[in-house]
């Protein structure tokens, strides 16, 4: 071990302690010769272990040797001082010769073709693993520091295996969502170990202790290799730092995870190899493993989906737009009122949601077509159509004109066609119409023939399209809210009625727009694929009294 090097691995710590014990024994007169001799032998064995492993392991390739030398002789402190790296990177975090060859061997023996590395540093581990990959193999290496990509690339270029490596800079958690890999080597960001683990479908959550973890899955055969330095924890699992506590808890968890088989090889920092094992038929079904490996909450995510919500400038539409965006969708906020649409789009943007605003009067077919065209030209498609915009006109039935009926009908039933055409063409779509509890009961004492009949029409429209289009991949459902506490009901004419309504609602309160958000996400997601033509009533029990 170089003189200035702090003992790092368990063997190095052992050598350090034995050296100190032997020095004490040598300097003391009363120590029996036999004890001195035992200490010397133990020291010889401990200090000879790493050099022996180095010597007996296949020599590294020239590009690897050069990369190692350049890494350990690089002035990482200076690089950090110059602001080229965000963090001060210790040269010790490089994966060395024996570990590198072990990784290469694991890749080779498992016949992995697609490998992911989280935490590349200067690329020693990446290049070692690439050497073990077949010609058409691919390794994606994630690295937080752009400087390290520049550092590593020339070495990759020199190696015939470097072309198998794709480096992605930035936080690995952001770069990687759902991807399929045969093997994953995690060597960074200990706080996120569990989350990395959970990124991959079909896998049970597991945590990793110090050391590498290689996890093998029986179905699609992805495996994991994960590494953490084990220097903060000694063999008796004494917990001295928060990091070692995390690692300890992680190890504890792995030991107790069902369907996991694990072994730790005490090589330098330690290599834990973990693979999932099948416990037979019961645990192979989708209830146990999740549909396509996705847990129920994952199945309700809308990542990559494009949605629009009409009437999204306020009230229910605004809540829908937020909910769909929070679940991962890109959202077009559509409203008659330009300022309101823009404000809600800005709100979404502030939350990191990809959003645009569109001003449109959806009772006009020209506006509807323009809305669809705008979304398709911006995002290429539409997956989720929330036809929510509505109007409420109150008049006694004998005073209701045909025009009023037509306006209500036009507004509530207008949008389906244009969005439907896009969806039918692509063979996928989720249409969610906002109907109303008024489709089931006749709300009173207010008089609202046009509203009630047009909302009943929305339900029948939903049922008709829902059954007509499902075999072409388009599901159509509607949500029927009860009386929602929105600006609409604070109009002068409706406000005095609120007390009366409350006495008709078993839940004892009006609905809040947030009461409806989970429903829209569910109907927009794949989790509701078997539901079509359904009227999902959310009214605090009002229609039952
Ligand atoms: C222990 S070193 C990796 C050593 C490397 N696997 C090797 O074979 O030499 C950890 C690396 O992970 C990087 N890192 C830390 N957090 C990260 C994150 N969230 N995403 C991607 N890389 C990260 C650090 O910049 C550092 O280069």
Q: 211: CA distance to ligand 1 center in Å?
A: 14
- The reported pLDDT for the residue numbered 6 is 66
Q: What is the distance between the alpha carbons of residues 366 and 379, in angstroms, rounded to a whole number?
A: 20
Cβ neighbours around 391 below 10 Å, total: 17
Q: How many angstroms separate the alpha carbon of residue 141 from the centre of ligand 1?
A: 9
Looking at 193, 200, 451, 522, which residue is catalytic?
Answer: 451
CA of 261 to the centre of ligand 1 (A): 26
Answer with the residue of higher pLDDT: 285 or 545.
Answer: 545
pTM: 0.56
- Among 128, 140, 188, 247, which residue has the most ligand 1 atoms within 8 Å of its CB, making it the best to mutate? 188
Nearest atom in ligand 1 to the alpha carbon of residue 229 is: 1
As a CATH number, domain 300-544 is 3.40.50.720
CA–CA–CA angle 429, 432, 437 (5° rounding): 160
Q: How far is CA 494 from CA 55, 392, 444, 499, 512, in A?
A: 87, 11, 11, 10, 17
The two structure tokens encoding residue 532: 């079509």
- Same fold flag, 62-289 and 300-544: yes
Q: How far is the CA of 143 from the centre of ligand 1 (A)?
A: 6
What architecture (CATH level 2) is domain 62-289?
3-Layer(aba) Sandwich (3.40)
Q: Which pLDDT tens digit goes with each residue over 138-151?
A: 999 999 999 999 99
What pLDDT score was predicted for residue 175?
61
DSSP per-residue string spanning 445-474? SS-BHHHHHHHHHHHHHHHHHHHHHGGGTE
Question: Does pLDDT of 410 surpass 80?
Answer: no
Q: Is the model more confident about 20 or about 443?
A: 20
Q: Residue 235 above 90 pLDDT?
A: no
pLDDT, tens digit, for every residue of 485-543? 976 677 777 777 888 888 899 999 999 999 999 999 999 999 999 999 999 999 999 99
Of 224 and 483, the structure prediction assigns the larger pLDDT to 483
**Residue boundaries of the structural domains of the chain:** 10-56, 62-289, 300-544
Count helices and strands (H / E) in the chain. Answer: 20, 15
Q: Please say if the pLDDT value at position 236 is more than 70.
A: no
Q: Is 451 a catalytic residue?
A: yes
Quote the mean pLDDT of the chain.
83
pLDDT over threshold 80, residue 270: no
- Confidence band for 359, pLDDT divided at 50, 70 and 90: very high
For residue 221, pLDDT over 60 is answered with: no
Mutation to probe ligand 1, out of 120, 126, 172 (largest number of atoms < 8 A from CB): 120
pLDDT of residue 478: 96
Q: How far is the CA of 118 from the centre of ligand 1 (A)?
A: 6
| Residues 6 or more apart whose Cβ sits within 8 Å of residue 321 | 309, 312, 331, 333, 344, 348, 355
Residues touching ligand 1 (Cβ under 6 Å) are 89, 93-95, 118-121, 124-125, 142-145, 148, 171-173, 187-189
Q: Whose CA is nearest to atom 19 of ligand 1?
A: 171
């Amino acid at each position: 071990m170089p003189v200035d090097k702090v003992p790092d691995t368990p063997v190095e710590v052992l050598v350090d302690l034995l050296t100190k014990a032997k020095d004490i024994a040598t300097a003391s007169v009363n120590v029996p010769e036999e004890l001195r001799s035992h200490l010397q032998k133990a020291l010889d064995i401990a200090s000879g272990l790493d050099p022996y492993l180095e010597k007996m392991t296949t020599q590294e390739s020239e590009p690897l040797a050069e990369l190692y030398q350049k890494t350990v002789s690089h002035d990482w402190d200076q690089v950090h001082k110059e602001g080229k790296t965000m963090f001060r990177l210790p040269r010790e975090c490089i994966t060395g010769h024996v570990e590198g060859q072990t990784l290469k061997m694991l890749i080779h023996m498992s016949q992995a073709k697609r490998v992911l590395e989280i935490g590349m540093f200067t690329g020693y581990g990446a290049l070692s693993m690439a050497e073990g990959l077949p010609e058409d193999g691919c390794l994606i290496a994630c690295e937080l520091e752009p400087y390290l990509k520049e550092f590593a690339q020339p070495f990759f270029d020199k190696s015939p295996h470097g072309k198998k490596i794709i480096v992605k800079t930035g936080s690995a958690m952001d770069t990687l969502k759902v991807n399929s890999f045969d093997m994953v080597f995690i060597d960074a960001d200990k706080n996120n170990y569990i989350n990395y683990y959970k990124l991959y479908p079909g896998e049970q959550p597991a945590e990793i202790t110090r050391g590498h973890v290689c996890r093998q899955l029986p179905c699609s055969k992805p495996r994991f290799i994960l590494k953490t330095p084990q220097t903060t924890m000694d063999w008796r699992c004494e917990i001295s730092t928060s990091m070692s506590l995390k690692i300890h808890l992680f190890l504890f968890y792995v030991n107790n995870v069902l369907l996991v088989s694990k072994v730790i090889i005490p090589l330098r920092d330690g290599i834990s190899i973990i693979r999932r094992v099948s416990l037979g038929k019961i645990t192979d079904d989708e209830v146990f493993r999740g549909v396509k490996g996705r847990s129920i909450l994952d199945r309700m995510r809308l990542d990559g989906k494009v949605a629009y919500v009409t009437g999204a400038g306020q009230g229910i539409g605004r809540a829908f737009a937020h909910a769909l965006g929070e679940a991962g969708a890109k959202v077009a906020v559509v409203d008659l009122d330009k300022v309101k649409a823009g404000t809600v789009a800005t709100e979404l943007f502030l939350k990191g949601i990809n959003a645009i605003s569109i001003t449109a009067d959806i009772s006009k077919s020209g506006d509807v077509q323009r809305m669809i065209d705008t979304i398709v030209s911006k995002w290429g498609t539409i997956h989720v159509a929330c036809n929510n915009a509505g109007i409420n006109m109150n008049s006694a039935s004998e005073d209701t004109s045909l025009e009023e009926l037509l306006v209500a009908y036009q507004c509530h039933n207008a949008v389906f066609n244009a969005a439907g055409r896009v969806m039918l063409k692509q063979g996928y779509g989720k249409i969610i119409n906002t109907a109303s509890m008024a489709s089931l009961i006749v709300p009173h004492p207010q008089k609202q023939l046009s509203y009630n009949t047009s909302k009943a029409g929305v339900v029948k429209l939903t049922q008709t399209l829902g059954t007509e289009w499902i075999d072409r991949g388009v599901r159509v459902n509607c949500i029927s809210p009860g009386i929602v506490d929105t600006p609409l009901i604070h109009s002068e004419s409706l406000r005095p009625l609120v007390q009366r309504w409350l006495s008709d609602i078993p839940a004892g309160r009006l609905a809040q727009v947030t009461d409806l958000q989970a429903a829209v996400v569910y109907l927009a997601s794949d989790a509701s694929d078997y539901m079509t033509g359904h009227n999902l009533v959310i009214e605090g029990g009002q229609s039952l009294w």
